[in-house]
Amino acid sequence: MLHASRSLWAAATNTHVIASGRGGTGVIVDAPPDGAGVVDLLSANDITPLALLVTHGHVDHAGGAGDVVRRTGVTAYVHPDDDFLTHDPGSQLRRLFGVLPPGDFAPPERYEALTDGDRLDLAGFEIEVRQTPGHTPGHCVFHIPQEGVLFSGDQLFAGSVGRTDLPGGDQQALWDSMRTRVMDLDDEVRVLTGHGPETTIGKERATNPFRGFWVE
């Protein structure tokens, strides 16, 4: 598996792309409000994208989805429980900056709906969708069993977890999701996060300072 990532936009959001190799088709995970940066990442690795998987509706992960779709023609996917966020990314930007900054922040014309338990066959990968409410109601992580990889969005970070003090956040739901939808994976699984460096399930199981909250 070819994996490339780039930290983009003001929130230093990790956009990931995966493919079987250079020159092949691939999948994008998350699109911050920097469509040009996402396209540059694709071009640098000679990847033709087929799909954009959005982990959740916060603007730093979905605010560039429409721009990326219009630039590349990919199909975008998100869980509909986050529609209240993805349908108007501009409102989130106005809350952050007071005004709408320049750029193309209009959402895609439509999203394909993700459902917990979906198995998506994209670019030669079977991608398992695991809904992990807590950070947002529709937050999803994407597990690729044959590659031993989990795209965790803002569910799990190296040494931390997602915040739950924004609209739709639920701390108990986050702990439940961690216990039943993330920490049931093998220790060797690589965790490719939405912010910061990658980690592994085993490392976070052993050292994450919040681990006591999800242990039964």
Output the six-digit token pair for 134: 């807590």
Q: Give yes or no for residue 103 having a pLDDT over 80.
A: no
Spatial contact of 181 and 131, defined as CB atoms under 8 Å apart: yes
Mean pLDDT, rounded, for 45-49:
97
Burial of 3 (0-12, 13-18, 19+ CB in 10 A): middle
Q: Give yes or no for residue 203 having a pLDDT over 90.
A: yes
Mean pLDDT, rounded, for 167-174:
96
Q: How confident is the model at residue 189 (pLDDT cuts 50, 70, 90)?
A: very high
Q: How confident is the model at residue 111 (pLDDT cuts 50, 70, 90)?
A: very high
Q: Is 129 or 90 the better-scoring residue by pLDDT? A: 129
Q: What is the structure's pLDDT at 165?
A: 94
Q: What is the pLDDT of residues 4-37, one digit of tens each?
A: 999 999 999 999 999 999 999 999 999 999 999 9
DSSP secondary structure letter of residue 118: -
Q: Which CATH number fits domain 2-213: 3.30.200.20, 3.20.20.10, 3.60.15.10, 3.30.450.90?
A: 3.60.15.10
- Assessment of whether the complete model's pTM goes beyond 0.85: yes
Q: Is 47 or 98 the better-scoring residue by pLDDT? A: 47
Mean pLDDT, rounded, for 157-185:
97
Mean pLDDT, rounded, for 114-139:
98
Mean pLDDT, rounded, for 178-195:
98
Q: Give yes or no for residue 98 having a pLDDT over 80.
A: no
Q: What is the structure's pLDDT at 207?
A: 97
DSSP 121-153: EETTEEEEEEE-TTSSTT-EEEEEGGGTEEEEE
Q: How confident is the model at residue 99 (pLDDT cuts 50, 70, 90)?
A: low
Average pLDDT value over all residues in the chain: 95
In Å, how far are 43, 90, 133 from 81, measured between CA atoms?
32, 18, 9
Domain-by-domain residue ranges, the chain? 2-213
Output the six-digit token pair for 141: 């992580």
